[in-house]
Chains A and B, each alone.
Chain A
Amino acid sequence: MTSQVFGPLRPFVALGLVRALMPLFALLVIVPMALAQSEAPTVHGVAPLPDDRPVPHGLLPPGAPNPDTGPSSVIYPTQHVAIRFDHAKHLGREIGATCKTCHPGATTSRRASDRLTPGGEVCDRCHSTDHSNLALVKSGDAAMGQCATCHQGYRPEDGNRVAPLELPRANLVFDHKSHADRNIGCAQCHGAVAEIELATRDQLPRMSGCLRCHQAPDPASLGGAKSACETCHLAGPSGTARIQTMFPSGTLRPPRWLHNAEHTPDFIERHKSVAADDSGFCANCHKEDFCTDCHDGRTRPRDIHPNDYLNMHAIEARMNTERCTSCHQQQSFCLDCHLRVGVAESSPPNAKDSGRFHPPKSIWSDPPRKPGSHGFEAERNLNACVSCHTERDCVACHGALGVGGGFDPHTSGFVGRCATQFNRNPRPCFVCHEPGDAVLSQCR
C-alpha cells in the first residue's frame, strides 16, 4: 500500500528526508549560488578610463548603486561607442570647453529621442578635419586630425569608412530644456563626466537619482518634479497600462528598491503585500485584465495550480484554504462544482456520486471527539467546510432546534461580545435561535 501511495518518491518521503530538508534547501542552495556568481562587465566599445579601469563610484551619476551594474538595458539599450574621446582633457584648462561647446542641444532639447551627441563638424573646429561631406571626410594635417585619432580601429586602407557609432535612443520621456531652465547642471544627472575620458551608458541618469527630486505628488503638486511614472516613462499604447513596458531591448520591470516589487521568481506568492498597499503602483504597468486573468479567471493558471490539480486540490485546500479565498468565492465557485459532482451534502439527487469525501463516520462524527473529527477540522480550517456545505448542513445539528439538540458551535467568550454582532446583523442568530429565545437576551 505504501509503495502504491508514494510511488517514485517513496524512498524520500518514507525516510522523512524531504520533510526535514525542504525548509533548509532554499537557503542552503541560494546563498552559495549568490556568493559564487559574478556578473560579466557591460561592454561599451571603448572604455571610459585608461586601461579599462572601472569608473570610481563617485564619478557615476547620482543614484548609481555601489557596486554599479550599469543602467537599465531596457531603458538605455546597449551602445557600441567606437569613438575615442577624452572628456577630462576637453573640459580641462588646456582646452577649456564646456558641455555646451559640443552638446548645444542639451539645453534646448525637449525629447529624449533627440540626438545630442555632436557630429564630426563640431570636431572640425579644432581638429582641422572636414566632416561637412560624410561621403568624403577629409583628415587634418596634424596628428590630432588623423582619422585614427578619434575613430577606434581605423586603418588608412579603410578610406572613408569608420566603425559605426551605435547609440540607440533612450526609451524615455525627457525634456533637457526644462531641467536646464531650472539651473540643473549636467553633472546632477550625468555624474562627473568632466573627470573621465569616454562617457558611456554608465553616465546616463539612474532612476533612483531622478527620484531624489521627483518626489512631488502627482498631479496636484505645484512643482514640476512629479513622481508619476508617466512623467519620465513612455506612455503605454492605448488599452494597455499607463506606461509602455515592452521594448525591443526587453521588458521593463520594477527594481528591487521600488516597493521591493522586483518581479522575482516567487513574486506571485508575495505580490499581495505590494498590491494591498499601493495598487496604483501596479496599475502603472498592468491593467485590470492582468489581475482578472488569475483572480477572476476561467482558465487554470498552471503556475499556481500545478499537475492534476482538479482531482487533487482537496489536499491543498484543507491545508491552505485562505489562499483559495483570494481568488475563489467558496459558496459559488467551489460549491457549484461540488454540487454538480455530487460531493456536497446538498447535491441534487440526480448528481453522480463521487463517493464519501470525509473520513469514516467513526472518526469524523462519532463520539468521543478525537483528532480528525469534524469539529477539530472546522476549528482549524472553517473555510474548507464552507466550500462544500451550506448553512443548512450545519444547522441540522448545531441549531438550537436541530436534530442534535443544539451542539453549541460558538467560541469561548462569545456571549461577552455577541451584542456587537447582534446589533449589526441578527439574521444569523435567527437561523439557529427563535427570535423569542431567552438565550438571545444575553446578546440584545
Chain B
Amino acid sequence: MTTRFVQRAAGRAAFGAMLVGMDARALDGDVTADSVAQFYDVTSPTGQVLLERRRLTATLGLGAYDLLGTAEGDPHAADLSIRMRVRYDADYGAPSATSDPTIFGSIVPGFAPQAVDLMYFYLEGRRFGGGWLGFKLGRQYVTDVLGWWSFDGGEVSVTTPYYLKAEAYGGLEQRGGMPLSTSRFEADGVWRGDRTGFEPLLYPEFQPAEVAPALGVALESVGLTWIHGRLTYRRVYDTGPSTVSEFPDGSNPGVYDRTRISSERLGYAVDANLAAIGAVKAGIVYDFYRAEITSAYASLDGYLGKRLTVSTDYDYYLPTFDGDSIWNFFAGEPRSDLGLRANVDIDRRLSVAGNAHARVSTVQTAPFDPGGGFVSSPSPNSAGGYYPTNGHPFDEGGNVSARWHSGETRIAAHASGDFGSEGDRVGGDVSAEQVIETRYMVGGRAGLWQWKDDLRPDRAATGFQYVANVGYRFDPRCRGSFEWEHDFNGLVGQRFRFMFLLSLDMGKLPQRTRETAQQ
C-alpha cells in the first residue's frame, strides 16, 4: 500500500511540475502514440491451434522540454525536462478464465490479458550547479555492463572537470506484479507476480511480488572521445514472504520472509579507439552472490584501410539468477564464444559484414558410468554427487549481412548458419523498403530457413516466409501501415499474421526546419 501511495504521489507531483513548466513558457513538448494490432494463431507442431492471439498494443508518450527556458541549443545551460511513456498491451483472444484465480483448471499465474505498465516517467535535470550536477527522479532506465535495468527512484550525478563523473542512485527495482510494472527488468529464476485472489495452496511456487530496494553507484570517464570506461556496482534486495515449502508436510516453516540479497554485482566496461589503427572493447561482471565472474567479453578491431574492419571477439557467459532462485545452485556450466568478424563499406551505399564463430561448452558428452548403470546422488554432500565434465563440444556458425541504401530505398540481405549438437539453423532473408514521393511506403521480405532439431528429429522443418506491407507517411514522424505475413512450414503448415500499425508524433519541428521557416 505504501508503495502505491508513493507512486501515486510521485506521479501527481511530476505531472504538476510538467503543467507548471508548460505554463512558464510557450509549449515545448511532444505527444507520441503508437498503436499496433496483431492477429495470428499459435499452433502446435501438429497444426492444432493452441492460442488465437488478437493483440492490441498501444503506447502513449508525453514530453515537456526546456522547462527552464534556456537558450535553445546552448550546450552549457541548465536544462530540465520530463518524459513519460505508458503502454497498454492486451490479448483479446485470451479466455478470461486464464486470469481468474478461482478457476484452477485455467488460471495462468502471472498472465495479464490486459496489462498496463508505465515504461518510464522521470524528471531530468542536466547541467545544474555550474554544470556539475545532474539528476533524474522517477521511473527510469540504467544501461551499462550490468544490463538494461529499470527502477523507481532517484539518480544523482556529478560531472567534474577532471574527466570523471560519479553517479549514485537508489529506489525500488521495477518488478512484475507491482502496479504499472513488468517483470522485464528483474533478475530471472523466480516465478513471481501478483497473488491477489490466490488461495495459499494454489501454485505455491508462484511467489508474491514485493518491493525490491535497490542502490547503485558508478564511476565513469567523460570528455575524452577516444577512450571511455565505466565502473558500476549495484545491489538489489528481496523482501517480503517467500514460500519455501512447496510440498507442504507441516515439517518446515513454509515461508521465509527476511530481507535478503536478490543480486549484487560489480562490473567494468571500457573501450578505446585509435582512429587509424583500431579499437578495443572489453567488459567484465563479478557476481558477489555467486562469488565468481559471470560475464566477460572482449573484442579487438583492426582498421585495415578506410573500408575494411576485421575483428576478433570473445564472450564468456555463466547463467545467474535472482538470489531467491534455486537455479543458482544447479550445475549450469559457462559458455565461451570465439569469433572472427569483418565489415566492408564497399561504397557509401553498400556495406557487407560477416562473421564466423565457435562456441565452447563444458558439459558431459558421454555416459557417466557406462558399466554401472544409473548413478544417483542421494548423499547431500555435493562433491560426491557431482557429475564431472568430460567434454568440450564445439558449436559453430557464421553469418553474412549486406545492406544497400539510396535515398528512400533500402535493401538488406542476411544469411546465417548455426550448427551444433542441439540442432542446426541455416537460411537467409532478403528485405526491401521504399518510400515513394516521400509518403507512400512499400516493403517486403522473403526468407527460407532450415530448422533441424537434433534432440527431437521429428520437430525439424523447412520454413518459407514472405511479408508484404504498405503504408502512408503523413509527415516524417507520423505513419500508418498494414502488413501481411504468410508462413509455410513443413511441420506446422501455413500460418498468417496481419498487423496494423499507426504511429503519431506531434511536437516541435527540427531546428533546421524552424530556421528555414523564420527566414
Contact = CB atoms under 8 A, between A and B. Distances in A.
Interface stretch (B3-11, B14-22, B27-35): B27-35
Interface string B115-132: 000011000001100111
Contact of B346 (A34, A259, A306, A432): A34
A144 interface: no
Contact of A434 (B252, B340, B341): B252
Interface residues of A, number: 187
Interface in B393-435: 395-403, 412, 414, 417-427, 429, 431
A15 interface: no
A407 to B, nearest CB: 6
Given A296-B182, A322-B335, A379-B389, A215 B382 contact: no
Given A276-B269, A307-B463, 16 more contacts: A4-B490, A6-B460, A24-B356, A25-B356, A34-B344, A219-B75, A238-B507, A266-B355, A274-B271, A303-B414, A325-B188, A355-B44, A368-B372, A372-B455, A392-B247, A411-B331
B354 interface: yes
Contact of A382 (B176, B332, B388): B332
Contacts of B24: none
Interface string B315-349: 00101010111111111110100001111111110
A142 interface: no
30 contacts: A5-B460, A31-B344, A39-B348, A208-B275, A217-B164, A219-B76, A219-B126, A220-B159, A240-B507, A246-B510, A259-B279, A274-B271, A279-B143, A288-B120, A298-B57, A307-B464, A308-B495, A310-B40, A322-B319, A332-B183, A336-B110, A348-B104, A375-B387, A376-B364, A391-B189, A412-B386, A418-B329, A427-B324, A434-B251, A439-B380
Contact of A331 (B192, B203, B402, B423): B192
Contact of B398 (A6, A26, A412): A26
A424 B164 CA distance: 32
Given A29-B400, A315-B422, A412 B388 contact: yes
Given A257-B275, A277-B229, A315-B452, A307 B429 contact: yes
A382 to B, nearest CB: 3
A221 B161 contact: yes
Most interface-central of A218, A307, A318, A350 (chain B CB within 10 A): A307
Contacts of B160: 217, 220
A224 B468 CA distance: 51
A23 B398 contact: yes
B383 interface: yes
B148 A291 contact: yes
Interface in A381-417: 381-383, 385-386, 390-392, 394-396, 398-402, 404-415, 417
A297 B283 CA distance: 26
Contact of B326 (A264, A367, A372, A432): A432
B106 interface: yes
B436 interface: no
A265 to B, nearest CB: 4
A168 to B, nearest CB: 11
A415 B244 CA distance: 21
A310 B389 CA distance: 33
Identify the 9 closest CB pairs spanning chains A and B, nearest first: A26-B354, A367-B374, A408-B385, A23-B356, A239-B30, A7-B462, A217-B223, A382-B332, A219-B131
Nearest to A342: B50
A312 B159 CA distance: 48
Interface string A244-287: 10110000000011111010111001101111111101100001
A27 B72 contact: no
B242 to A, nearest CB: 5
A382 B50 contact: no
Interface in A186-236: 208, 211, 214-222, 226-228, 230-231, 234-236
Given A7-B462, A382-B330, A439 B505 contact: no
A227 B227 CA distance: 12
A325 B188 CA distance: 9
Given A34-B346, A270-B341, A318 B422 contact: yes
B465 A406 contact: no
B452 A425 contact: no
B330 A307 contact: no
A439 B381 contact: yes
Given A244-B511, A307-B449, A260 B326 contact: no
A396 B246 CA distance: 9
Contacts of A398: 330
Given A257-B273, A335-B110, A409-B329, A367 B373 contact: yes
Contacts of B403: 265
Contact of B244 (A31, A275, A430): A430
